[in-house]
Amino acid sequence: MSTEDERYPIGQFEPPTSIDSPRILAWIDDIAALPAAFRAAVTPLSDSQLDTPYRAGGWTVRQVTHHVADSHINSFVRFKWALSEERPTIKAYDEQAWAELPDTLSAPVGLSLDLLERLHARWVVLLRGLDELAFQREFVHPVSGPVDLATNVGIYAWHGRHHLAHVTRLVEREGWGG
């Protein structure tokens, strides 16, 4: 398998030309399902397996798990800003620097799994309560520019599946599944 495949095991996110309500609802279902799927993939792993990079030069499973929680917290806050302010410019963060912090390198993954479970439960309540007009609201990313909330739901549905695939493909390649 090539490094490119290992970096993007499900491909890169490609926003559809048109985003309708059924697509948004399917993405929300993906967001709702992620915590249980991530827990099922990560919980059986030993500490040495958690500290294995998913690819050469990549983050460890532990870092990936904590990254998903960090990233999704940021996304939840961005949704709240976009829903309560007019086109706010959000704060970007250095994902690589966060991945090297002590909590990301050594904290038990259960902390982020528990956080994801509760965060996603709350996020899904928010998302399922929005109407079509709300999904048109935008925030402005300082690097990539305006992002509407409908597209951002898709980005984060993809983001969760993307990192889950990093873990599950590593488990499969290493034969850790039993």
Q: When comparing pLDDT for 177 and 48, which is higher? A: 48
Note the pLDDT tens digit of each residue in 61-82. 999 999 999 999 999 999 999 9
Cα dihedral 99, 101, 106, 110 sign: negative
**CATH classification of the domain holding 101:** 1.20.120.450
Work out the end-to-end distance of the chain between its first and last CA atoms, rounded to an integer number of angstroms: 22
pLDDT, residue 163, reads 98
Domain that holds residue 146: 20-174
- In one letter, which amino acid is 117? E
- Residue 8 within a domain: no
Please report, for residues 89, 99, 116, 154, the alpha-carbon distance to residue 145 in angstroms, rounded to integers and kept in the order given.
Answer: 9, 24, 27, 17
* Domain annotation covers residue 6: no
95-152 pLDDT, tens digit per residue, is 999 999 999 999 999 999 999 999 999 999 999 999 999 999 999 999 999 999 999 9
Tell me, yes or no, whether 55 lies in a domain: yes
pLDDT digits (tens, 9 = 90+) for 16-65: 999 999 999 999 999 999 999 999 999 999 999 999 999 999 999 999 99
Task: Judge whether 13 lies within some domain.
Answer: no
Q: Residue 1 above 50 pLDDT?
A: no
Q: Does 11 reside within a domain?
A: no
Instruction: Let me know: does 113 contact 43? Beta carbons within 8 Å.
Output: yes
Look at residue 14 and tell me if it is in a domain: no
Give the pLDDT of residue 3: 52
Whether residue 84 is contained in a domain is answered as yes
Q: Structurally, how many domains does the chain consist of?
A: 1
Give mean pLDDT, residues 4-22: 92
Whole-prediction pTM:
0.95
In a domain, 47, yes or no: yes
